[in-house]
Each structure stands twice: as structure tokens, then as C-alpha cells.
Structure 1
Amino acid sequence: MMTHTFEIKDNFYLDGKPFQIISGGIHYFRVVPEYWKDRLEKLKAMGCNTVETYIPWNMHEPNKGEFHFDGMLDIAKFVKTAQELGLWVIIRPSPYICAEWEFGGLPAWLLAEDGMKLRGCYKPFLDHIRSYYKELFKVLAPLQVNYGGPVIMMQVENEYGYYGDDTEYLETMKQIMIDFGTVVPLVTSDGPMHESLSCGHLEGALPTGNFGSRTEERFEILKQYTNGGPLMCTEFWVGWFDHWGNGGHMRGNLEESTKDLDKMLELGHVNIYMFEGGTNFGFMNGSNYYDELTPDVTSYDYDGVLTESGDITEKYRRYQEVIRKYAPIPEVTYSTKIEKKAYGTLQYDARVGLFESLDDLSAPVKCKFPTSMERLGQNYGYILYHTKLEKEQNLEKIRLYEANDRANLFVDQKPLVTLYDRQLLFEAKAGEDFAKEDGKPVTFKKGAPLDILVENMGRVNFGPRMEHQRKGIDGHVQINGHTHLNWEEYCLPLDNIEKLDYTKGYTEGLPAFYHFTLDVDQKGDTFLDFEGWGKGCIFLNGFNLGRFWEIGPQKRLYIPAPLLKEGRNEIVVFETDGKQPGTITLKDEPDIG
């Protein structure tokens, strides 16, 4: 196998010759493996010579000491596929990736430990990274150019200058990577401002910038930190991400970004973020929190160069014309046949309520105080807190302390209220669901059940709130002014929905599971329209397609053809708010607002 050298001096040098990096970002974990080659072929055909990807720790080590590097997580296969197409690879293996990904890629089980401190020289955190990197770099190290692979560079941490200023931590991270076999040059990437670069740069790693506009100005600032080295935008933001309720799909300015790409290639090097965004399958969307909680939608389309489903856009064509000025455009034959199918409207053929299904899906844990998901060994999904109102005479006020993120409350298995974000307080007053019209307290029979269904909407992936992301209820439930004790807690990661028994009953207006059957003669990409449904998540043949929410902007969930089977397929919709029209429709085009 032919080995290579890659060096950073006044420029990038591959085998001793100047090399201009023209890269595009593709996250292998957001694209089904059957489509990796298609996306990489399209990247090459646009004129790119390199592909960049993050590596999500929370997927590769979902539970402490449990490692996965197969299927959708087969990073070695993704890298080797790129190599077969003549592409080079930039790997960003930082334990923290941001990427609008759940908890920025950090595993949720870190939060089970009291006192956990993230992204700094805190020994327990660093010990976990070492044990993870020990396994990860068994896969990554042989893929470097020095050993015949295509990996030319790796990144130390990620946008650390936005988070902290612990240079000792960055030095430690760099050394851990070297200890486990990193031999290719290292880079850091930060916002193109003095504050970020001064906190995030590191001796022995090339500083690069992340930005989407004003290239000349950004590069002038970056130049002050590169010590004569090459200028690179490691994340050239060509679009943006969507969060639930943001009013419409975010789009970049094509005219301006085309000019910026031209200037980047004139002055230096680029990685386009995102070439293709892909999909936040499952419960893997991240969230931001500035003034309020803003969880990201399931689609990570990002207004990328390719759409979420891999379609070539006008942006692709415009960027290709720019790249043509700086590099040859190769002839590429696409090897993957992809078609879109509209399979029509389906009516559910079975349904069962959540309350009727609790004992099939979960074994209750008895606790004096409410306990967070993480402390119960749960990472994602929902958790239900059940108790009985034995001593309360009525219900005037409920407050949830240290609760995240969205709570549906039920008294006597009747909907009371839905609480969201940090405002997890209910007070009986006129006009509230279940409260009397005259504003009097809610009444019930002695011993009536109180159930609180809490959804983890996606842990914050950016900023100082990351250390405060325990989900469920990690504090107290206060009723009318006293703390209510004695709970049964049902963990509901919904990774076992095959255990559902659809004969167990159903109550209109309560959380429930709806079963659909889809018969497929010919597989094709399709888009599941959830119009009329409230909020929840959808499963295809046991695979979690992601969340839906009537507030949009996303109105359909993308289903790649490889997730379908020829013949009978099962679709299960879990809906939490009691809103369901009884049907879903599979269409041949997306609708992301």
C-alpha cells in the first residue's frame, strides 16, 4: 500500500508538493451507509479533493465501555470508500463536536456522575476520554496517510475558544491523540475573532477559522495566529440549521456565499459545511439555549450543497463553477441508483395507549425523590413519573424543579397541562386545560394518579449550559407548596417497541402508539407527512426515524430507501399530545418549511 506524507509549513504539502484543500463536510452518522458512495461521488464531481467528518463519541460509546464501529458507525468503511474514489480525508475526533448533535457528541452517561466537569482538566472527564480514544484510535490510526490511508489531518477539540481558556486541557488533548497514534498534522478551529482564537489556539496545531462570510476580513485576523502558515476556513457555513418553531427553513445567501468561496480559494483553503447535512435520526438532534430552549428539528438539511436526501442543488452548480477556476473537474459516473416514491396514504391498523403499555416497555423503579434519566441509566427518549395523590385535597399549583425539557401532566389519566423549557410551573386558573372555568383548584378523588411524562428534547450542544443537561426531573415536584415524595419511575428510551401489545386498550386524547403496515414492491426514498399529528417520534421497522412536531418548520420525515424492505414494513407512530388524524401519507418530495 502506497504511503504518503502531509505537512504544514507556509502551505499544505502532500508528498512535498503544494496542495490546496478543497473539502466538503459529510457526517457518515447522518447518512445511511448504502448512500455514502453516492454522496462522496457527488463531492468529487463538484471538484472537491477532500471530505471532512466529525466523530460522535455518544454513538461510538453509547454506554460506558460499550463500543460500536459497525453499520452506520463504520468510520473505517466510510474513510476507505473515500479513498477508493481518490479523496483525502480530514477527521475531527474531538470528544466534543457541537454539530447541532445531541450534547455536542458527548455521551449522556457522563452526567450520571456528580460533579462532572466538561472540556477542561478534570481527571474523571479526561480518564473517560482516554479509555474511548484507546479504542477509537485502533480504528483511526491505520487510516492516516503515513500508513497508506487517506487521512491527512485531524483536529484537536472543537471551537474551544467559544467555550473556555484552559490551554493545559488543549495540550492534554493533543498529547492523548499523539499517545494513541496520531502522526498527521493537527489543527484547531475557532470563530475568526481575537477572543476565540486567543483562547482556542494551541502550539503545534494550525489555527483555522469557522465562518460563513467576510472572507478577507476573517483571514486577516486568522493570519495573526498562523505564524506564516496556510489560511483555512474549516467550516464555511453555506446555510444554517432549523429549530422547532423557527417559522421556516433557514437558507443561506447563495450570491454572497459563492463570492466568499471564490475568495477563500484565491487566498487559501476551504471545507464546505455542510456539503450534505443529512438527518438527525433517532433522538440525536441537539439544542441551543440562549434566551430560551430551541431544539433542532430532525432534518439537518442545513441548506447544504446537497439536500438532506442527496439531491444536487443550484448551489452545487454555482460552487462547481467557482472550483473549476482552481482545480480540474473530474468526470464521475454515479454508481447508486436512487429513486423517490410516493406510497400513498395509510390508515393505522392497531393502536395502544402508553399507560396501558408501561409494564411492557419498562420496569418501574421506586424512588423517594424524582430521579433524572442519567442516574437511572437512561440516555435518550422519555421518562414517566407516577405517583398517587393521597394527602392533597386539591391541586392549585405544581412546580417541577431541575426538570428538562417538556412535561405532559395527567391527573387521574386526564390531561392537565404541558410545561416546557424552564417554566415548569402550573397554576390552576380560568382557561387552563382541566382547570375549572371559575379558576378554582383542580379536584380529584383521594388516591388519584398523577403522571408526569417528560421528554428529553435533545441536550444543549453549545455553551455553559452543557453541564446542566440532566433530563427528566433531577430535583423536586412541589404540589401546592409541599414537596411530594414517593414515585414510580418508568424509563422509556423506546428502543423496545417490539414488546407493544396492541390488544391492551386505548384512551382517546392520551399518549399512544399507532401501528401502520406498508407493503412495498419497489424500494425508493420517501417522505412521511405527519400533518394533523401533534408531537412525538416515528419508527420504521424498529428504526427511529426521528421526532415530529406540528409547529414545524419540518413537515415530513425523510425515509431513505435502504431502511425499507421489499414486502411488508411496519411503521409505529408514538404521539404524546392526543392529536392524531388516524392516517399518514408517504410522498415523493420533502417539505421542510
Structure 2
Amino acid sequence: MPEFAIGETDFLLDGRPLKILSGALHYFRVHPDLWADRIGKARQMGLNTIETYVPWNAHSPEPGEFDLSGGLDLDRFLRMIAEAGMYAIVRPGPYICAEWANGGLPPWLFRDPEVGVRRYEPRYLAAVREYLNQVYNVVVPHQIDRGGPVLLVQIENEYGAFGNDKRYLAALTEYTREAGITVPLTTVDQPTPEMLEAGSLEGLHRTASFGSRTTERLATLRAHQPTGPLMCSEFWNGWFDHWGAHHHTTSVEESAADLDALLAAGGSVNLYMFHGGTNFGLTNGANDKGVYQPLVTSYDYDAPLDEAGNPTAKYHAFRDVIARYHKVPDSVPPPAQPAPTPTALLRDPVRLLDAPQRWGTWQTYDHLPTFDELSPIPQLVLLRTRITGDKPGVLTFGEVRDRAAVFLDGDHVGTLLREHHDRAIALPRANGELLVLVEDQGRVDYGTRIGEAKGIIDGAVLNGQSLSTWDVMPIDMALVPDLRADSAAVFGPTAGPALLRGEFDLDQPADLFLDTGLWGKGMAWINGFPLGRYWRRGPQRTLYVPSPVVRAGANEIVVLELGTMLEPDVRFVPHPLLGHTEA
């Protein structure tokens, strides 16, 4: 079997130097029927390795579960990498950041407030060990010394930006080795002395994450990793977007120059991202450094391969750089072609407030529970209580995480947003049926707010009096697309929350770009597949529809509108519209 090791100056494969030319490709952000296509295009660009995170919360939505089916089939993904003649790097966390909800940590883990976050704490470590054992059951047979593609496994992720608990890192290393991982182990940190020192241990090979000032940052890395190969295991060739901002892009020329400098210095690299993919469903993360900023659905990342898997100018520029140092294949992927543009009309509305019992089951509480007290943990919840009083009132919440639409006797009173630090709303009267629809818009994936609860925090008060009795209805988003209207109706402009559906025809399956510009805020499904969130505020305007999701002939689209929809038209456009840039 092949032998892979870390030498004095290089990675060594059977004793010969190997430069790792890797690209990040998250299997959980790409339709599984398109994995082979994306892997093949990485090889055509001149890469020899695919790197992926492993999202704990996707595989384990509840304790005791570990799902490896469909788009979570890590075993199949690693086999496809091997079949393409490429190597693999696996980064299982348990914390991954990745602009992914909660940085990959499952929210059920923090139902117990005493559980530690990314530190040496017994309850946390017990859950982590169980998770890592499940991951390594898959990864161990795919290691290079067993004839598979996996060269490296990473311990934690940019830990030096969070903490410096060496016992914690040592425990993760111990669990990894005991589970049968024999390939070299790495860590990654931003190249500052403090982070490189805090985020690793002796015996773990330090790598760095950066996207510019290559020479300076390699020098810093070398000072903390005096022997062995230099590697930038997150070469930031793009960036992510959040709602209400602009679409981020990076200079093709500057990124290519920095990559050139890295390869000229003899470094190995992992492009973050080679192909970003999509935060399908409700999987996006968020940032909160004083202002809450949920991430958009697209994870295009301005990567060499765009969200739909098409080569960009950056793809060809990077390929030219790689070709100066290593042989690249002769063929390149074809350019993007315009997508089909069918149309349809949304109709047959199912209004949430007309018959809430169709959407779930009411549960009665003597307090206002957070989402995390419910099981399974939901992302959309309807709250109900009756209020009595003889004058207008002010409804005050402890904290809103993240969006709360308030209704009194079915009339929309207003909406509170976490990003505005909204906590209170005036009611026209203090009597009637009070309904509050609360949405988790994405769990924070970076910093000290990882693991925090969602929903309404610390209860509700009306005119100084606590509202203690609540009916709570968690809405199972997997069942929402199956709700159907009692009678057919053509619909015009509408205010949500309401579910609408339509049908469009295609001659043959193809990638599509759904234009949501005339809709408000909500989620969309095609043929039952959850495309993700849309929001009129932008920057993202189109939702990517992977070709395996659609079929020749009739296709069904379902839309859950939470805001106001200007026109109930379904429009597809030939190219993605990801929003304005800073330029």
C-alpha cells in the first residue's frame, strides 16, 4: 500500500515529494448526482486533491442519529474522488465554521446549559467522541495507506481564533487515533503568532488560512512550523454574502498572483472554495459581531467553479498558474450556456392563519419555550395566547432570534427583526388572540455566540405583565410542501404567511435559475426539493435549481411566502443574479 508522510521539507508519497493542489468541495452543498461532475472539473483545472468538511448537525439532527444517505453519503463521495484518480482531505471538526448553521455543531447538544463549547468538558467530549467515531468508521477504509484517497485529517478548525484549551485538542487527537486514523493530522489557523500558537499541539502539522500577502504569511507560518511542508489549507479566493449587503467578489488577477506566489514558494494549497455550492434548505449560518447578519442561500463564493458548476474567469486564470508548476489535463470544461426560462403562475393559496392546525400540532406550555426546548428542534414556530385588557398595549420580548411577525385577531401588527435589536411592538388593543410567527434565520457559525438558543428568549411581557400560558406549534418544514388548498384559486398580490403552488414544463432536465425578485421573503421547493430561502432585500435574487431536481414534462413548484408577494408569477432567467457588488 502507498505510504504518505510528512518529511523535513515536503509531503512524501512513497518517499517522493508531493505537492498538494487541493480544492474545497462540500458534498453537503452539492446535489449528489453532480458530485462526479464537480470532481472531474477540479481535476481538469489541475488539482490533485479534494477537501471537504463534515457537518455534524446535518448527519445528526437529533441525538443517536447518524444519517449517511443521499446527499450525506460521505463514503460514496470519497469513492468518487478515488475513481477520479484524486486524493482527499477530510476536516470533521467537530466545529467547521464554513458559514454553515452553528458551525456544524448540532443545537441539541446545547439543551443542557452546562455543556461546554469547543473545550475540555466531559459531556461535550462524550458527544464529540461518538460523532467522530461515526465519521471515522467511514473515513478509515479510505485512507491512503489502505489503498484509498485520504491523505490528511484535520483536528478542529481555526481553533486559535476561539480558544487555547490544549487538553481539548489532545482529546480530539486521541479520539482520532483510537478510531483508526493513521494518516498525518493537521490544524489550520490564521497566520498570526497568537492563533498559530493557541490552535495546535506538538505532533499536529500546522497550516494556515489566508488569501493575500502570501510571502509574509508563509514566513509567519514557518516560524511556528519550522520543519515540514508549508501549506495554505484555506486559500481564500472569494467570500460569502449576507442578506442586506452586496455580493462579494475578489480580483481574478490579484487572486491568481497570490496563488502564483504560493506555488512559487513551494507551498501546497487548498482553494477555499474551489466550488462553493448552495445552502439548500435552511442550512445557512450567520454572523453576529454586534449586528446579526444571516447568510444568503447561495454559497457561490466567487469561486473558480460557480454555484451551478460552470468555470469562471478565475477557473481559467488559476489553471494557467498551476500549469506553470505542474502538468494539467488537456481538456477544459465547456462554458456556461443560458438556462431554460419557463414560466408559471402560483395559485391555490393555503393560509397559515386560516387553519393553523393543518400545519402542525399545538402544544401548551406554562412559559414561552425557546426553539431548543422543543424536539425535534424547529426553525419556524407559531405561538398563540389570549390577551385581555381595556387599553392599547406594548408587547415586549426578552430577545427575538431572529424574526417575529406579530398578529392580533389575524391582522398583521408588525415584524420584529433581531438585526435591528427589536424587542417591543405597540398593539392597537390589549385583548384578542395574539399570534407570533418566529423564524430562525440561521444560527451563528463563528465566535462566542455559537450554540445559543433560538426563538423568543426570556419570555414576553404585555403592559408590565408576564404572558405565561402559550400554545406552541412547531412547523415541520419537510411536510409543508405537501399542504394543499381545499379549493382552486388564482391569486394576485398576497401577504403571507401563505403557501402557493404552480406547475411548469421542461423539454429535458437542465439547471435553472428561479427569479424571486417580485416575491417578499420565504422559501421554495421544486418537486419536493428544498431550494432554500429568498428575500427581496437581496443581494441574491435567483435560487439555483440543480438539473437532477427537475424532469422532462411537468414540474411542481411550491413557495412559502412569509412577507408580501407583489406578483404570483414564476419566472426563470438564463443566468444567476447574485446581486450588486462594491464596484
Q: Which deviates more, 533-542 or 206-215? A: 533-542
Task: Please say if residues 339 and 524 of structure 1, whose CA atoms lie closer than 8 Å, have aligned partners that are also in contact.
Answer: no
Instruction: Specify the SS of the correspondent of 1:264.
Output: helix
- State how 1:26-37 maps to structure 2 within 5 Å: 26-37=25-36
Counterparts in 2 of 1:97 and 1:21: CA distance versus 1, 3 Å? same
Tell me, in whole angstroms, the C-alpha distance in 2 between the residues paired with 1:345 and 1:531.
14
The corresponding residue for 1:496 is: 479
Match of 1:398 among 390, 395, 405: 395
The answer as to 2:175 corresponding to 1:176 is yes
The corresponding residue for 1:487 is: 470
- State how 1:127-206 maps to structure 2 within 5 Å: 127-206=126-205
The corresponding residue for 2:409 is: 412
- State how 1:225-240 maps to structure 2 within 5 Å: 225-240=224-239
2:348 maps to amino acid: A
The corresponding residue for 1:433 is: none
Q: What's the CA shift for 1:427?
A: 4.3
Task: Please say if residues 116 and 467 of structure 1, whose CA atoms lie closer than 8 Å, have aligned partners that are also in contact.
Answer: no
Instruction: Specify the SS of the correspondent of 1:465.
Output: coil
1:532 maps to amino acid: L
Q: Which deviates more, 24-33 or 577-586? A: 577-586
The corresponding residue for 1:315 is: 314
The corresponding residue for 1:451 is: 435
- State how 1:239-278 maps to structure 2 within 5 Å: 239-246=238-245, 248-267=246-265, 268-278=267-277
- State how 1:344-359 maps to structure 2 within 5 Å: 344-359=342-357
Task: Please say if residues 11 and 18 of structure 2, whose CA atoms lie closer than 8 Å, have aligned partners that are also in contact.
Answer: yes
Alignment deviations for residues 193-232 of structure 1 (CA, whole Å, 9 cap, x no partner): 1111111021111110001100010011111111312111
1:467 maps to amino acid: G
Alignment deviations for residues 475-497 of structure 1 (CA, whole Å, 9 cap, x no partner): 21111222111100010131112
Instruction: Specify the SS of the correspondent of 1:474.
Output: strand
Task: Please say if residues 372 and 471 of structure 1, whose CA atoms lie closer than 8 Å, have aligned partners that are also in contact.
Answer: yes
The corresponding residue for 2:529 is: 543
Q: What's the CA shift for 1:459?
A: 0.2
Counterparts in 2 of 1:217 and 1:60: CA distance versus 1, 3 Å? same
Q: What's the CA shift for 1:65?
A: 1.0
Task: Please say if residues 21 and 269 of structure 1, whose CA atoms lie closer than 8 Å, have aligned partners that are also in contact.
Answer: yes
The corresponding residue for 2:3 is: 5
The answer as to 2:198 corresponding to 1:215 is no
The corresponding residue for 1:556 is: 542
Task: Please say if residues 282 and 533 of structure 2, whose CA atoms lie closer than 8 Å, have aligned partners that are also in contact.
Answer: yes
- State how 1:119-134 maps to structure 2 within 5 Å: 119-134=118-133
Task: Please say if residues 397 and 425 of structure 1, whose CA atoms lie closer than 8 Å, have aligned partners that are also in contact.
Answer: no
Q: Which runs of 5+ in 2 are unaligned?
A: none
Tell me, in whole angstroms, the C-alpha distance in 2 between the residues paired with 1:427 and 1:69.
44
The answer as to 2:445 corresponding to 1:461 is yes
Counterparts in 2 of 1:471 and 1:18: CA distance versus 1, 3 Å? same
Counterparts in 2 of 1:195 and 1:333: CA distance versus 1, 3 Å? closer
Q: Normalising by the residue count of structure 2, what TM-score does the alignment of the two structures yield?
A: 0.95
The corresponding residue for 2:22 is: 23
Tell me, in whole angstroms, the C-alpha distance in 2 between the residues paired with 1:181 and 1:353.
53
Task: Please say if residues 400 and 416 of structure 2, whose CA atoms lie closer than 8 Å, have aligned partners that are also in contact.
Answer: no
The answer as to 2:570 corresponding to 1:584 is yes
Tell me, in whole angstroms, the C-alpha distance in 1 between the residues paired with 2:332 and 2:142.
26
Q: What's the CA shift for 1:565?
A: 2.5
Tell me, in whole angstroms, the C-alpha distance in 1 between the residues paired with 2:191 and 2:20.
19
Alignment deviations for residues 272-325 of structure 1 (CA, whole Å, 9 cap, x no partner): 110000000000000001120011100000000111001111111111111011
Q: What's the CA shift for 1:245?
A: 0.5
1:492 maps to amino acid: I
Tell me, in whole angstroms, the C-alpha distance in 2 between the residues paired with 1:92 and 1:357.
45
The corresponding residue for 1:377 is: 375
Q: Which deviates more, 566-575 or 153-162? A: 566-575
The corresponding residue for 1:424 is: 422
Task: Please say if residues 186 and 205 of structure 1, whose CA atoms lie closer than 8 Å, have aligned partners that are also in contact.
Answer: yes
Task: Please say if residues 95 and 103 of structure 2, whose CA atoms lie closer than 8 Å, have aligned partners that are also in contact.
Answer: yes
Task: Please say if residues 360 and 476 of structure 2, whose CA atoms lie closer than 8 Å, have aligned partners that are also in contact.
Answer: no
Q: What's the CA shift for 1:82?
A: 1.2
Instruction: Specify the SS of the correspondent of 1:245.
Output: coil
Q: What's the CA shift for 1:344?
A: 2.4
Task: Please say if residues 478 and 484 of structure 1, whose CA atoms lie closer than 8 Å, have aligned partners that are also in contact.
Answer: yes
Tell me, in whole angstroms, the C-alpha distance in 1 between the residues paired with 2:340 and 2:502.
16
Instruction: Specify the SS of the correspondent of 2:89.
Output: strand
Tell me, in whole angstroms, the C-alpha distance in 1 between the residues paired with 2:503 and 2:494.
21
Counterparts in 2 of 1:449 and 1:141: CA distance versus 1, 3 Å? same
Task: Please say if residues 481 and 525 of structure 2, whose CA atoms lie closer than 8 Å, have aligned partners that are also in contact.
Answer: no
Instruction: Specify the SS of the correspondent of 1:133.
Output: helix
Task: Please say if residues 397 and 457 of structure 2, whose CA atoms lie closer than 8 Å, have aligned partners that are also in contact.
Answer: no
Q: What's the CA shift for 1:133?
A: 1.8
Tell me, in whole angstroms, the C-alpha distance in 1 between the residues paired with 2:249 and 2:494.
39
Task: Please say if residues 343 and 504 of structure 2, whose CA atoms lie closer than 8 Å, have aligned partners that are also in contact.
Answer: no
Q: What's the CA shift for 1:113?
A: 2.1
Q: What's the CA shift for 1:419?
A: 0.7
Q: What's the CA shift for 1:378?
A: 3.4
Counterparts in 2 of 1:210 and 1:333: CA distance versus 1, 3 Å? closer
Q: Which deviates more, 300-309 or 128-137? A: 128-137
The corresponding residue for 1:284 is: 283
Q: What's the CA shift for 1:66?
A: 1.3
2:563 maps to amino acid: D
1:117 maps to amino acid: G
The corresponding residue for 1:57 is: 56
Instruction: Specify the SS of the correspondent of 2:429.
Output: coil
Tell me, in whole angstroms, the C-alpha distance in 2 between the residues paired with 1:244 and 1:395.
34
Counterparts in 2 of 1:427 and 1:562: CA distance versus 1, 3 Å? closer
Alignment deviations for residues 474-527 of structure 1 (CA, whole Å, 9 cap, x no partner): 321111222111100010131112541311799953410011112233111001
Q: What's the CA shift for 1:134?
A: 2.0
Q: Which deviates more, 560-569 or 257-266? A: 560-569
Counterparts in 2 of 1:339 and 1:314: CA distance versus 1, 3 Å? closer
Q: Which deviates more, 540-549 or 181-190? A: 540-549
Tell me, in whole angstroms, the C-alpha distance in 1 between the residues paired with 2:403 and 2:18.
50
The corresponding residue for 1:530 is: 516
Tell me, in whole angstroms, the C-alpha distance in 1 between the residues paired with 2:271 and 2:400.
37
Q: For this pair of structures, how many residues does the alignment match?
A: 573
Q: Which runs of 5+ in 1 are unaligned?
A: 429-440
The corresponding residue for 1:566 is: 552
